Amino acid sequence: MDYLAGLNPSQRAAVEQTEGPVMIVAGAGSGKTRVITYRVAHLVRRGVDPFNILVLTFTNKAAKEMRERIMRVVGDEAKNIWMGTFHSVFAKILRVEAEHIGYPRNFTIYDTDDSKSLIRSILKEMQLDDKLYNASFVYNRISSAKNNLISAQEYSRNEQIQAEDFSNGRGQLGQIYLTYTQRCYKAGAMDFDDLLFKTNVLFREYPDVLHKYQHKFKYLMVDEYQDTNFSQYLIVRKLAAINENICVVGDDAQSIYAFRGANIQNILNFEKDYPDLKVFKLEQNYRSTQNIVNAANSIIANNKNQLKKNVFSENETGEKIKVCRAFSDNEEGKIVAEAIAQERALNGGKYRDFAILYRTNAQSRAMEEALRKINIPYKIYGGTSFYQRKEIKDLIAYFRLTFNPNDEEAIKRVINYPRRGIGDTTVDRILIAADQHQVTLWDVISQASTYLDGRSAGPVGIFATMIQGFQVVAKGHSAFDAAMHIAQHSGILKNLYEDKSVEGLSRYENIQELLNGIKEFSEREDIEEKGLDVFMQDVALLTNDDNDKDPNADTVSLMTIHSSKGLEFPHVFIVGLEENLFPSQLSLNSRSELEEERRLFYVAVTRAEKKLTLSYATSRYRWGTLNNCEPSRFLDELNPAYLELDFKPRTVPESTASFADERQAWGQRDVFTKPKPKVPPKTTAILPKAHTPTPGFTPSDTSNLQVGMEVEHERFGFGKVINLEGSKNEIKATIFFRELGQKQLLLKFAKLRIVG
C-alpha cells in the first residue's frame, strides 16, 4: 500500500472508493492522472481481474502514460486492462461484433481525407454545386449528425433539419448523407464517427451483445468526462447500467470542446443519472503559484453554470501576473520576444520553458516574425508554421508566379486551384509539350493554342491571361493592393469564404492575417521599396527553416489554447486578449458560448507554473484597415490584486487601476460596467475611431525640425518631439504622442505635419 502514502486525503479517498458511482472533480494541476492510475492499480491489488476493467481516455498519449504508471505498481498485469481512447476501444469491439450489423470484421476505417474524397465524388455524380455543397461543410454536417446519433434516415425525416437545409439552399444534404452511408456500407468501410455511432447501433439492436460487455466491464473509468458528446455518453451509460461501478474524472471548468460536440451537461448532470453518487473534489493545485491559482479562480467565478470548488495552492506566492499593452499585434510580438530574451539573460533557463498561447492560428504570424528577428528558436505545437500552411502557400504561389512565371512548382500547385477545369490530364499534356518542344511550362501555358488542342487550350489560356493581369497590377500598385487583387481574382478568397466549416474559417482567417502583414509592410516607414516582390524576398528569408526534427530541441512553444490543454510550462504568454478576438465575436450570442470562452481563458491561465504574462493590442489590421481594439472583458474579471500593469494609467494610480479605468482614460466608451446583461448583446461593441487627420493634412518639410516642436502624424495623432539623433537622411525622431506614448520614427519616412 506504499503507493497510497504519497496521496493527499482527497486523492486517497477517491482512490479507495472503488464501488458504486463516483465522480472526481479534478481542478487544474491537482494530480488527476495520478489518482486515475492509482485507482486502477488499487482495483487490481484488491483482486479485480484486469480484463474486467475498462478505462476510456481522449488521447493515446494519456492512455500510454497511465498504463506505464500502473505497470510500476502492479507489473505486467496492467497489459490486460482494456485501456485506450473511445475510438480505439470500440473499434476493437466492432472488429469482433461487426457481422451483427452487416459489416465484415476487416472493415476499413476511413480517415477525414477518405471521407471528403468520397463526398466530392457523390457531389459530382449528383451534379451539385461544390461551392454550395462544400465537401468540408458536408463532412462536418454528417459528423455532427452522427455524434448526436441521427442516422441518415432520421436526418431526412426530421422536419426541422430539412426546413433549415432548404432555407439555406442545401436541400440535398439528406440525400448526400444517405448516399454516403450506403457507399461506405457497400465498401465495407466506417468513418471515424461510425466507430461510436455503429457501437450505439450494435448495443441498441443486439441486447445480448450489450449484456456480454456489461458483464465483462465490471469497472469503468472515464477520463476528461466533461469532453464527452452524446454518443459517448450513451455508450458509457449503457455499459455501466448493471454494475454501476463507474468513475468519471473531469473538470467542468475545463470543458472547451463544444465545437466538437462535447456536452458540458454530461458532467453537470451526472448526479441525476446516479443518485447514489459519491463526489470527491481534488482542489489542491500542485502546478502553479498562489497568485496564478487565485487569479484563475477569480476568472471562473464569473460562470454561473458550474460545479463549485475551491482550488488552492500551497506553492510559493509567486510573481504577480504581468499585463502588457501594445499598439499593434506586431508590437505585441516584439514585447513577447524581448521578454523571453530578457528573462533568459537575467535568470537563465531553456527556451522550452516558454509557451505563447493564442486564440486563433492566424495570430502566430506576428509572434513568429518577432521571434525570428532576434533569433529565438520556436516550434508550432499541434499545427503548422504560419507560412507553411496550405492556404498561405497557395496564395504565395500566385505571388511567385506573378514575378516569375517560369516557377514550375508554383504552376503545378495552383494551375487548377481553385478548380478551373484544368485536370491532371491537361497538366500532363502541358508537361509533355514542354518536354517535346524544349520550352518552359509557362511557354506552353501562355501560348496554349499553339501547343495544346482546343479543348485543353481554352481554360489554360484563361489561366495565362489571369497571371499576365496580375503582373500588370503588381507593377503599378502597392504590395497590399496587388496582394488583395490577386487573392480576390485568383478565386482563393471566394473559395475559402464559402467553406463554412471550422477548418475553412481558420484558413480564411489565415489568408486575412497574411494580407494584414502585407498591409503593415506597405506602410513601414523604415524602408523605401515596398513592392510585393520585396515582401516576397522577406518571406523567402523568413521561411528558410533548418528543418530541425529533434523532438527535444530547445524551442519556444507556440500553440492555440485548445492545443495547450493538458500541458504546462514555467513561463506562459497569453496574447490577443481583446474583445471579439478573445472572447471570440462568435461567442457573444449566448451565455453558454461566452462561458465556454471563459473556461478556455481559465485553461490558458492554468497552464502556467511560475510566471504568466497577458497581452493585448490597441489596434489590429483587418482586411487592410486598421481597427481600434478594446481590452477583453476577461481582463476586467481578473482580481487586480494579482496583476501588475506594465504601463502607467493616465488618470489613476497603478495600484488601483482597472481596465475600465484604462478605457475611460483613453476616452473610450466603457461597455463593461457592472452589472453586465444576463445575455451578452448580439451586436458587437462600437469601437472608438482612430485618429482623423486634420482636414487638408499635408506633411511638412522636416529638415529644420527641432526638439520641443509639436507635430501631427496621420495615424498616431498629435505629439511632441523629445529627441533627434543621426545625420543627413538617417535622422531618427523620438516623439511622445498624446494617445500612444513614445515612438521613434525615421524622419525621411515619417510624413509629419509641424503644428508649432
Binding site members? 26-33
- Report the alpha-carbon distance of residue 55 to residue 316 in Å, rounded: 35
Residue 214 CB coordination number (10 Å): 17
**Measured between alpha carbons, how far is 25 from 32 in angstroms, rounded to an integer?**
9
Whether 607 sits among the annotated catalytic residues: the reply is yes
Q: How far is CA 163 from CA 53, 123, 127, 136, 157, in A?
A: 45, 21, 22, 21, 11
Within its chain, how far is the Cα of 393 from the centroid? Answer: 19
254 catalytic? Reply is yes
Can you say whether the dihedral through the CA atoms of 711, 713, 718, 720 is positive or negative? negative
Query: CA 740, CA 626: separation in Å to the nearest integer?
Result: 15
655 touches 643 (CB < 8 A) = no
Active-site residue, from 17, 18, 33, 175: 33
Catalytic residue among 37, 199, 232, 254: 254
The C-alpha cell at 711 is 507635430
Active site annotation includes 224: yes
Q: If you search the block for the grid coordinates 442545401, which residue do you land on?
A: 170
Which of 504, 477, 501, 482 is closest to 493 using CA atoms?
504
Cell (9 digits) for 355: 509557451
Select which of 97, 223, 391, 513 is catalytic: 223
> What are the start-end ranges of the H helices in 454-526?
454-476, 479-489, 492-497, 502-522
Quick one: three-class SS letters along 611-632? EEEEEEECEEEECCEEEECCEC
Judge contact between 635 and 663, C-beta under 8 A: no
Give CA–CA dist 508/513, Å, rounded.
Answer: 9
Set of cell numbers at residue 491: 478565386
32 is known as an active-site residue: yes
The burial of 378, by beta-carbon neighbours within 10 Å (0-12 exposed, 13-18 middle, 19 or more buried), is given as buried
Can 332 be counted among the known catalytic residues? no
SS3 421: coil
Binding residues for ATP, by number, are 26-33
SS3 145: helix
Give dist(CA 681, CA 685) in Å, integer. 9
Q: Name the catalytic one among 325, 413, 607, 663.
A: 607
* Secondary structure class of 606 (helix, strand, coil): coil
Q: How far apart are CA 60 and CA 91, in angstroms?
A: 14
345 by DSSP, 3-state: which?
helix
Look at the chain and count its residues: 756
Helix (H) / strand (E) element for 201: namely helix 194-205
Tell me, letter by letter, the H, E, C secondary structure of 524-574: CCCCCCCCHHHHHHHHHHHCCCCCCCCCCCCCEEEEEHHHHCCCCEEEEEE
Query: CA-to-CA distance for 47 and 18, rounded, in angstroms?
Result: 12
**Residue from 193, 224, 252, 499 carrying the catalytic annotation:** 224
Q: Is the peptide bond before 640 cis (omega within 30 degrees of 0)?
A: no
In the residue annotation, 668 being an active-site residue is answered as no
Of 196, 188, 191, 234, residue with least CA distance to 85: 196
Say if CB 227 and CB 255 are below 8 A apart.
Answer: yes
Helix axes 591-605, 290-300, angle to 10 degrees: 180
CA proximity to 175, closest of 133, 146, 147, 140: 133
Task: Give the separation between CA 723 and CA 154, rounded to whole angstroms.
Answer: 73
From 32, 146, 389, 611, active-site residue: 32
**Catalytic site residues?**
32-33, 223-224, 254, 607
